[in-house]
Amino acid sequence: MHDVVIAGAGPAGAIAALVLARAGVKVAVFDRARFPRPKLCGDSINPGALAVLRRLDLSHVTEGGLLLDGMLVSGEGGVRVTGLYGGGRTGIALPREVLDLRLLEAAAQAGAIVEDNVVVQGPALSNDGRKTIGLQTAAAGGTTIERLARVTIAADGRQSRVARALRLSHTPRKPRRWAVGSVFRGVTGLSSLGEMHVRRGCYLGIAPLPDGSANACVVTSNTDMLKDPDLVLRTMRQDLEVGGRFARAVMLNAPTVLGPLAVDAVASGMPGLLLAGDAAGFIDPMTGDGLRFAFRGGELAAQFAIEALAGRLETAHVRLEHARRREFGTKWRFNRVLRALASSPSAVRVAGLGASLAPPMLAHVISYAGDVQFA
C-alpha cells in the first residue's frame, strides 16, 4: 500500500509526486500515455511558472528552451501592442513532450514510482462511498487492479475519470471553445515574443519554438470550423495580420483538437482525495498561464497530502480549496473577463479602440497575464 497514489503524470501530477517523494512519502503516479507524448499546448512557460520551477530546484527541465521576452497582442483594425515582461524577466518556449518527460524523470529520480501506459478507470472508494482509498486501474484481460493509498491525488486532466466519477467537475454549458493546433515549419516573422491575435469568433495563438518551427493554434466556439481539416493553416493564411507569414508554411504534424476547453470544479476533493491541475478546473488558457496553475496546483496538492498523512485527512480537501482560492481566485476572475471579452465582437472592437488610445494599459495586462508579479 502506498502513502499517496496520483492519477495523471502531466505537470501537476509530476510536481506533486516530486514534492512528496522529496518529503520521504511513498508515492506512485500512473498515466495512460507512454512518455514522451505529444500534447496540445501553447508550449510557453511564463515568468511566474518559471519562478515555481526555480524554487523547486527544477530550472534544468527548461534547458534548451527559447527565451521569450513578452507577448504581442493584435486586434482588428490595426491594433497591435507589445508587452515586455521587463526587469530581466523572461518566459521560455519548450515543447510539452520535452517538458513533461523531464518533470516526470525528476519525480522518478526523487524516489516516486512512475508507471505510464496504465489506464486509471476511476477512484477506489470505502464501503460507505464517503472516502477515496485509492485508484482503480485497468489490467491485461480486462481485470481491475486497486491501487490503495492513504491519500489520492487526481491530476488526470480536463476529462478526469476520478473527478467526474465523483461529480466533482463538469463541462459548463457555456462558454464552449475548442482549440485546434499544430506545429509548422517556414513561418516567417517569428521573434522572442509569444503572440495572440484576437479576431471576431476566434483567436489565433503563435509561439516560436527552439528549433525555428512555430506552434500555431486557433481557438473558436464555432463548431462548424472544426470540420475543416486544414483549419489552422487556412485561418492563418486568410488573416490580414499574419497571413503572409504562413504563405510557405508546412504543417509538421496532424492537427490536434482539444475541447470543450472550460471545466468547472465544485470542490477540490473529498475525504482521501485531492484535485490538482486541470482536474481541479480549467479556464480557457488565453493568457498562457496554464502551466503556473499546474505547477503551483500540484505543489499545493502535495503540501496538503503531507498534512493529511500527518493526521488531518478528513479536512485536507477543504483546506486545499481555500488555498487554491487564495492563490488563484483573482487570476481566475481576470481570465474569465478576457474570455468573455474575446467572445464578443463589439467588446473586441471597443477593447481595440481602448488599446490603440492607451497601449500602456494593454501592456500592463500582458505583464499581469504573464504572472510577472510572482516571478
- Residue 308 is given by DSSP the state I
Say what the pLDDT of residue 78 is: 72
Q: Answer yes or no: is pLDDT of 63 > 80.
A: yes
What does the pLDDT look like over 294-312, one tens digit per residue? Answer: 999 999 999 999 999 998 8
For residue 361, name the pLDDT band (cuts at 50, 70, 90): low
What does the pLDDT look like over 154-212, one tens digit per residue? Answer: 999 989 999 999 999 988 877 788 899 999 999 999 999 999 888 877 889 999 999 99
Contacts of 246 (CB under 8 A, 6+ apart): 184, 187, 216, 233, 236, 237
For residue 365, name the pLDDT band (cuts at 50, 70, 90): low
User: Residue 117 carries which side chain, given as an amino acid letter?
Assistant: N
**Cell 530550472, residue located:** 59
Higher pLDDT, 281 or 25: 25
Q: Answer yes or no: is pLDDT of 15 > 60.
A: yes
Say what the pLDDT of residue 71 is: 87
Contacts of 272 (CB under 8 A, 6+ apart): 126, 131, 132, 133, 150, 151, 152, 308, 313
Is the domain spanning 44-94+178-258+344-375 CATH 3.30.9.10? The answer is: yes
Number of residues that make up the chain: 375
Contact 154, 279 (CB under 8 A): yes
**Is the pTM value of this prediction over 0.85?**
yes
Q: Answer yes or no: is pLDDT of 368 > 70.
A: no
Fold assignment, 1-40+96-173+261-340 = FAD/NAD(P)-binding domain (3.50.50)
Say what the pLDDT of residue 344 is: 54
Say what the pLDDT of residue 17 is: 98
Q: What are phi and psi of 282, to 5 degrees?
A: -135, 125
Report the chain's mean pLDDT, rounded to a whole number. 88
Instruction: For helices 345-357 and 316-343, give the axis angle rounded to 10 degrees.
Output: 90
What ranges do the domains of the chain cover?
A: 1-40+96-173+261-340, 44-94+178-258+344-375
What does the pLDDT look like over 266-299, one tens digit per residue? Answer: 999 999 999 999 999 876 655 567 899 999 999 9
For residue 330, name the pLDDT band (cuts at 50, 70, 90): confident
